Chain A
Amino acid sequence: MKRWLAVGAVVASMGCAPTPAAEVGRALFADPRLSSSAFNTVSCATCHDDGSSDAVERILAGHTLTDSVFRPSWWGGAAPSLQAAVDNCLVFFMREERIDATAPASRALYEYLLSISPTRPAPPLPMTVVENVADVPRGDPRRGERVYQAACADCHGDAFTGAGRMSALVSVVPDDSVGFAEQSGFPLTTVIVEKVRHGPFFGIGGTMPPFSVESLSDDDLGALLGYLVPLQ
């Protein structure tokens, strides 16, 4: 709730026209400080396209938010409202509390989402969750490196070293998973598949987003494993 309270304190701006709320919302969308947690380093833009980035090749965990407002359902049907859909992201990925719908910052964010949602009604987007994790066959390591750059490097920095990662809370991939793999008796590849498919859910914890089958195919995931855990 802190964030939604703090931003209630609006600076008076006598002598000039007020800023359109959607414009403030656009800035909030790309600003990790939307979360009041000192440990948060991600913004909505880390995981969602809003139509503003020039087709850089990125594989994002979340769907595009272009036309997100007038979908009939979100999170593959698991969120009953747009607000609940965003609440999930704030609570599970950004260490923030649920939205206060009437707070100025949240209204600004809403008006931004509205401004990029011209289609009404818009079709729902599918989200297939891999509930039961199984190993995925390893694919081409060169393709895997490209997948890593597009899907993981923004947060994790370079593979094997973590150079340039978003914060010290982000693990070094795959090295930081070796211990758990040994302890659990599962292959390292399965441990990586589990984290990628389940994120913080199913008892894992943390704030990394899960990748659905639509956001990252099993083929891409297999290639990634070929790169991260090469066959000896």
Chain B
Amino acid sequence: MLPPRRVIVLGWAGCVAGLGACFDPDHLPAMAFDVVATEAWQDGATRPTPAVAGEVRLVVTNNLDDTVSVVSWNALQRGGDGAEVARFPVGLVPLEREGPHHVDVDDDGRFAFVGISNFVPAGGSGPHGLHGTGSADGRVLRVDLDTQQTVAAVRVDKNPGDVRLSPNGTTIAVTHFDLLKVADAAANDVFVGADVDARIAFLDPITMQRQRLLPVCPAPHGMAFGNDGRLLVTSCLSDEAAIVDVAAALAGSDAATLVRRVTLLDAPGTAQHPNCSPYAVTMTADDSTAWISCYASGDLVAVDTATATRGRTLALPGLAVFGDVSDAGDRLAIATQDTDGIVVFDVTGPGELALISFFSLSADICPLPHTVRFLDDDDALAVVCEGNKRDPGAVVALDADSGAVLGRVVVGRFPDDIAVQVKP
């Protein structure tokens, strides 16, 4: 220990000699600050005022420009002028396009969980190889929507697909649409089994640690939780769905006992050549049926979640993508592409779906609708329109009864997923 006098002299020497002579970053001199600690690093970026209690905002991932758009639902349904309240960059690597893919927001409306897919074709090349092929591991980011900062990140497997927070908030499930794994296995004449199956990652939303990596099926993509967070259904590229017991998965049970796979077709294809090409899952409000969207055939296939059996199949007007069930549980809405629009079904009848309407969406309003959400006590729908997957896309608000366009706002390039942010 130095006698106190020596310390005084040191400090004093720092004063007179300036910093050049005696400066040592490990022992900084006492400083006079002009800016209080809580205001350090304030800058010139414009950030929207954080959402207030009860306010509804939509968080949209823009796959091609590595940004997230925040859209005011209130402004969107009144025409859309100025509805995009923020668009900010996400990602961990400043130069590379990382492909923010799907997103969910916690019940406090504070944090968004964004899957980074590293799948952005033509996103960089040189002697060190091609980028954006989905050959690099993905990440899930925890983004503070109040400050727009990425506050934590966790590595997951290649090509994270859907990202969904469980209704009880205990886990984030992440599917992996790992087409490379399917192709690699096929190159070795392997079409089923562990070499083809990708994992669902379960993550702790608070610590952002991995809770479990559970092998499930080939290229799982869409996903829906049951109400209590124990049941999870995912679409598998092998013309199957998989029903996962989440509670048992988190308790560490043997994988073989907690995943039930259901074949969706009489004549299923393989993951390499699927006939349905399962893409998304929409669960009924009572958890009894998971409706699987077929991207290749445009069919919607029912899976009974209790018995793990296939139910009826409905042909949609276009290729089936993501959907939603109304809060009241009486209606199902599914977006379709190729014939662009939104199909709405009545799900109250016994075991039967009755078509209520098909809202056709024109190319100048909403090219390639990709996902849809019920909002405003089920009176309205929010739809993400991918556009040509190169230029900016849009989010539109529709009247849920008439399909009338209430508003439209342009967002970033190739928008993909939507999550609803509501501050309690």
- A-side contacts of B352, CB under 8 Å: none
Report 6 cross-chain contacts, Cβ distance below 8 Å, ordered by A residue: A15-B8, A24-B29, A28-B25, A81-B41, A184-B128, A198-B124
**Smallest CB gap from A82: residue in B:** B43
Tell whether, in the assembled complex, residue B31 and residue A19 are in contact, meaning their CB atoms are under 8 Å apart.
yes
- A-side contacts of B96, CB under 8 Å: 201-202
Q: How far is the CB of A114 from the nearest CB of chain B, in Å?
A: 7
Q: Which of A3-44 contact B (CB under 8 A)?
A: 3, 6-7, 9-24, 26-28, 31, 33-34
From known contacts A79-B94, A84-B149, infer whether A184 and B127 are also in contact, taking CB-CB under 8 Å.
Answer: yes
- B-side contacts of A114, CB under 8 Å: 34-35
Q: How far is the CA of A22 from the CA of B29 in the complex (A)?
A: 12
Tell whether, in the assembled complex, residue B40 and residue A75 are in contact, meaning their CB atoms are under 8 Å apart.
no
Q: Which of A190-231 contact B (CB under 8 A)?
A: 190-191, 193-194, 197-199, 201-204, 210
From known contacts A13-B11, A15-B8, infer whether A7 and B26 are also in contact, taking CB-CB under 8 Å.
Answer: yes
Q: How far is the CA of A72 from the CA of B40 in the complex (A)?
A: 17
Q: A-facing mask of B129-152, CB < 8 A → 1, else 0?
A: 101000010000000000111100
Q: How far is the CB of B73 from the nearest CB of chain A, in Å?
A: 23
Q: How far is the CA of A199 from the CA of B91 in the complex (A)?
A: 18
A164, CB-defined interface residue at 8 Å: no
Tell whether, in the assembled complex, residue A18 and residue B29 are in contact, meaning their CB atoms are under 8 Å apart.
yes
Tell whether, in the assembled complex, residue B25 and residue A7 are in contact, meaning their CB atoms are under 8 Å apart.
yes
Name the residue in A9, A21, A120, A129 with the highest tally of chain B Cβ atoms < 10 Å from its Cβ: A21
- B-side contacts of A77, CB under 8 Å: 89
Q: Which of B14-22, B210-218, B276-284, B326-334 contacts A (4 or more CB under 8 A)?
A: B14-22
From known contacts A83-B41, A202-B126, infer whether A19 and B30 are also in contact, taking CB-CB under 8 Å.
Answer: yes
Q: How far is the CA of A12 from the CA of B14 in the complex (A)?
A: 11
Tell whether, in the assembled complex, residue A27 and residue B23 are in contact, meaning their CB atoms are under 8 Å apart.
yes
Sample of 17 more A-B contacts, CB < 8 Å, known A23-B19, A114-B34: A7-B26, A9-B27, A11-B29, A13-B11, A16-B15, A19-B19, A22-B34, A24-B28, A33-B25, A34-B25, A81-B43, A99-B41, A101-B37, A102-B38, A190-B126, A201-B93, A203-B128
Tell whether, in the assembled complex, residue A202 and residue B32 are in contact, meaning their CB atoms are under 8 Å apart.
no
Q: A-facing mask of B28-63, CB < 8 A → 1, else 0?
A: 111111110110110111100000000000000000
Q: How far is the CB of A112 from the nearest CB of chain B, in Å?
A: 11
Q: How far is the CB of B319 from the nearest CB of chain A, in Å?
A: 30
Tell whether, in the assembled complex, residue A78 and residue B95 are in contact, meaning their CB atoms are under 8 Å apart.
yes
Q: A-facing mask of B53-86, CB < 8 A → 1, else 0?
A: 0000000000000100000000000000000000
Q: Which of B87-136 contact A (CB under 8 A)?
A: 88-91, 93-97, 122-129, 131, 136
A121, CB-defined interface residue at 8 Å: yes
Q: How far is the CA of A225 from the CA of B43 in the complex (A)?
A: 39
Q: How far is the CB of B411 from the nearest CB of chain A, in Å?
A: 15
Tell whether, in the assembled complex, residue B19 and residue A27 are in contact, meaning their CB atoms are under 8 Å apart.
yes
A131, CB-defined interface residue at 8 Å: yes
B10, CB-defined interface residue at 8 Å: yes
- A-side contacts of B40, CB under 8 Å: 101-102, 106-107, 110-111
Tell whether, in the assembled complex, residue B31 and residue A203 are in contact, meaning their CB atoms are under 8 Å apart.
no
Tell whether, in the assembled complex, residue A79 and residue B89 are in contact, meaning their CB atoms are under 8 Å apart.
yes
Tell whether, in the assembled complex, residue A11 and residue B27 are in contact, meaning their CB atoms are under 8 Å apart.
yes
From known contacts A33-B25, A194-B128, infer whether A16 and B45 are also in contact, taking CB-CB under 8 Å.
Answer: no
Q: How far is the CB of B239 from the nearest CB of chain A, in Å?
A: 34
Q: How far is the CB of A5 from the nearest CB of chain B, in Å?
A: 10
**Smallest CB gap from B35: residue in A:** A111
Tell whether, in the assembled complex, residue A13 and residue B125 are in contact, meaning their CB atoms are under 8 Å apart.
no
- B-side contacts of A58, CB under 8 Å: none
Tell whether, in the assembled complex, residue A78 and residue B29 are in contact, meaning their CB atoms are under 8 Å apart.
no
Q: How far is the CA of A24 from the CA of B24 in the complex (A)?
A: 10
- B-side contacts of A180, CB under 8 Å: 127
Q: Which 10 A-B pairs have the closest CB atoms?
A: A13-B11, A70-B44, A133-B126, A82-B43, A194-B126, A186-B127, A13-B30, A16-B15, A27-B19, A18-B30
Tell whether, in the assembled complex, residue A132 and residue B125 are in contact, meaning their CB atoms are under 8 Å apart.
yes
Q: How far is the CA of A196 from the CA of B25 in the complex (A)?
A: 31
**Smallest CB gap from B93: residue in A:** A201
A157, CB-defined interface residue at 8 Å: no
Q: How far is the CA of A10 from the CA of B128 in the complex (A)?
A: 45
Tell whether, in the assembled complex, residue A111 and residue B33 are in contact, meaning their CB atoms are under 8 Å apart.
yes
Q: How far is the CB of A6 from the nearest CB of chain B, in Å?
A: 5
The answer, among B25, B27, B123, for a CB contact under 8 Å with A3, is B25
Name the residue in B11, B34, B94 with the highest tally of chain A Cβ atoms < 10 Å from its Cβ: B94
From known contacts A6-B26, A131-B123, infer whether A18 and B31 are also in contact, taking CB-CB under 8 Å.
Answer: yes
Q: How far is the CA of A96 from the CA of B328 in the complex (A)?
A: 52
From known contacts A131-B123, A184-B127, A191-B127, infer whether A11 and B11 are also in contact, taking CB-CB under 8 Å.
Answer: yes
Q: How far is the CA of A24 from the CA of B14 in the complex (A)?
A: 11
Tell whether, in the assembled complex, residue B44 and residue A121 are in contact, meaning their CB atoms are under 8 Å apart.
yes
Q: How far is the CA of A22 from the CA of B33 in the complex (A)?
A: 8
Q: How far is the CB of B10 from the nearest CB of chain A, in Å?
A: 6
Q: How far is the CB of A89 from the nearest CB of chain B, in Å?
A: 10
A172, CB-defined interface residue at 8 Å: no
Q: How far is the CA of A14 from the CA of B10 in the complex (A)?
A: 10
Tell whether, in the assembled complex, residue A111 and residue B34 are in contact, meaning their CB atoms are under 8 Å apart.
yes
